[in-house]
């Protein structure tokens, strides 16, 4: 297991997301460093996939830009290695399972360990399918970060009990992308999870403004922002690092001001 859980101990965590190699290698490295400087607690790096079924148009487009830049799985590790020379911010990957499967579960997890990647979020790997990667991840000290959604219901207990690192709480049904309305039962959902585990929770999917981040950080132990940052990268391209550092600082301030206390 990694030290990811400790990050949530004394304050609310902010976890921003960028897609690797969007729009190019150097900008992604700078973006990761900018997110760290802006106050990210964990940076989530997306490995591009040809058919990202859990992602909306913003992240789909980012994946296409990364493919246009010629991204390979190895490129993503090299980006992390390059960023690692300037920051020790904890990093987790968001990846579809086939990318890991083709690389080889053992090889992939060892490579993560080598690059200092602490956890994996795999949106198309439900609880039932995690056993095939778990030995490799455990061996390498990598957390498999589970997702719990508003439809998880009776599944929450087994997922929560087996969780390590943190739990990705999906704010709404469907796919990633900016939203103004969320599942209304998020407080109950988080409370339900906390019945079964002390592993921290972070809410993601659709969160895109500092105010929303503040609200979500009040409900859970942390908040994840993806599409809003990827959108900045799309608009600013090579100038993105400066813009996302500014955005990250504003979210950091908002998250720190959230009042929700850990139950």
Partner 1 sequence: MTKLKAEAQKTRAGIYAGTYGGQYIPETLMTELEKVDHAFHTLKDDPAFKAELHDLLVNYANRPSLLYYAKNMTKDLGGAKIYLKREDLNHTGAHKINNVIGQALLAKHLGKKRLIAETGAGQHGVATATIAALFGMECEIFMGKEDTDRQKLNVYRMELLGAKVHPVTTGSMVLKDAINAALQEWATRSEDTFYVMGSAVGPYPFPEIVKHFQSVISKESKAQLKAKENTLPDMVVACVGGGSNAIGSFADYIDDPSVRLVGVEAAGKGVNTDQTAATIERGSVGIFHGMKSLFLQNEDGQINPVYSISAGLDYPGVGPEHAALAKEGHAQYVGITDDESVQAFEYIAKQEGIVAAIESCHAIAYVEKIAPTMRKDQIIVCTLSGRGDKDVASIAKYKGVDIDE
Examine residue 49 and tell whether it contacts partner 1 (CB under 8 A).
Answer: yes
Examine residue 119 and tell whether it contacts partner 1 (CB under 8 A).
Answer: no
How far is 139 from 85, CA to CA, in rounded Å? Answer: 25
Q: Which two three-digit tokens encode residue 153?
A: 């219901």
How far is 212 from 96, CA to CA, in rounded Å? Answer: 27
- The least distance separating partner 1 from the CB of residue 227, rounded to whole angstroms, comes to 14
Examine residue 103 and tell whether it contacts partner 1 (CB under 8 A).
Answer: yes
Task: Please pick, from the candidates 146, 165, 222, 226, the single residue that binds partner 1 as defined by CB under 8 A.
Answer: 146
Task: Please pick, from the candidates 3, 9, 70, 101, the single residue that binds partner 1 as defined by CB under 8 A.
Answer: 101
Examine residue 51 and tell whether it contacts partner 1 (CB under 8 A).
Answer: yes
Stretch that binds partner 1, among 12-20, 35-43, 65-73, 245-253 (CB under 8 A): 65-73
Stretch that binds partner 1, among 4-12, 25-33, 143-151, 229-237 (CB under 8 A): 143-151
- The least distance separating partner 1 from the CB of residue 37, rounded to whole angstroms, comes to 31
Our CB check for partner 1 shows the closer of 174 and 185 to be: 174
Q: Is 122 exposed, middle or buried (0-12, 13-18, 19+ CB in 10 A)?
A: buried
Our CB check for partner 1 shows the closer of 85 and 102 to be: 102
Active site residues: 44, 55
Task: Please pick, from the candidates 24, 81, 106, 124, the single residue that binds partner 1 as defined by CB under 8 A.
Answer: 124
Q: Which positions lie near partner 1, rule CB under 8 A?
A: 49-51, 53-54, 60, 67, 72-73, 97-103, 123-129, 146-155, 159, 170, 173-175
């Amino acid at each position: 297991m990694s030290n990811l859980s400790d990050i949530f101990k004394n304050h609310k965590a902010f976890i921003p997301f960028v897609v690797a190699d969007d729009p190019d290698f150097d900008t992604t490295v700078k973006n990761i460093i900018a997110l760290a400087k802006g106050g990210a607690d964990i940076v989530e790096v997306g490995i591009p996939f040809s058919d990202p079924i859990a992602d909306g148009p913003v992240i789909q487009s980012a994946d296409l830009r990364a493919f246009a830049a010629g991204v390979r799985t190895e490129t993503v590790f090299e980006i992390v290695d390059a960023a690692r020379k300037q920051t020790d911010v904890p990093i987790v990957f968001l990846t579809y399972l086939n990318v890991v499967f083709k690389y080889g579960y053992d090889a992939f997890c060892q490579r993560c360990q080598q690059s200092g990647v602490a956890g994996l979020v795999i949106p198309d790997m439900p609880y039932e399918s995690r056993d095939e990667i778990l030995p490799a991840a455990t061996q390498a000290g990598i957390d498999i970060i589970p997702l719990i959604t508003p439809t998880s219901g009776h599944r929450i207990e087994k997922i929560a009990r087996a969780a390590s690192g943190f739990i990705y709480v999906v704010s709404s049904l469907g796919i990633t992308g900016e939203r103004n309305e969320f599942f209304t039962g998020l407080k109950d959902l988080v409370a339900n999870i906390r019945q079964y585990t002390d592993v921290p929770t972070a809410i993601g999917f659709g969160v895109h403004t500092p105010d929303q981040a503040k609200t979500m950080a009040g409900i859970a132990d942390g908040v994840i922002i993806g599409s809003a940052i990827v959108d900045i990268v799309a608009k600013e391209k090579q100038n993105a690092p400066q813009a996302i550092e500014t955005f990250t600082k504003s979210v950091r301030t908002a998250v720190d001001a959230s009042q929700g206390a850990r139950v």
